[in-house]
Amino acid sequence: MVAFATVPPQVDYELTALGHSLKPQLELLAEWARVNQATIEQARITFDQRS
């Protein structure tokens, strides 16, 4: 984290090495969501209809 002496206050954040190590898994999850978007949307509609 880096804080700057500005008004309004500004702070920059960055991932740690541990956070960066999660990137490949997050990319796989995002791709899975893209591939299955239609199925996910249909499941939500079905769930809402039962509620």
Domain that holds residue 41: 21-51
Q: What is the predicted pLDDT for the residue at 33?
A: 98
Task: List, in order, residues 6 or more apart from 11 with CB less than 8 Å away.
Answer: 1, 2, 3, 4
Answer yes or no: is 14 within a domain. no
Residue at 25 is within a domain? yes
Residue written as tokens 């090495």? 17
The pLDDT of residue 29: 98
| Averaged pLDDT in 10-residue chunks for the chain of 51 residues | 85 95 98 99 97 82
pLDDT of residue 2: 81
Does the residue 35 lie in any domain? Answer: yes
| Structural domains in the chain (count) | 1
pLDDT value of residue 16? 97
Rounded-to-integer distance, Cα 18 and Cα 30, Å: 19
Q: Is 1 contained in some domain?
A: no
What pLDDT sits at residue 6? 86
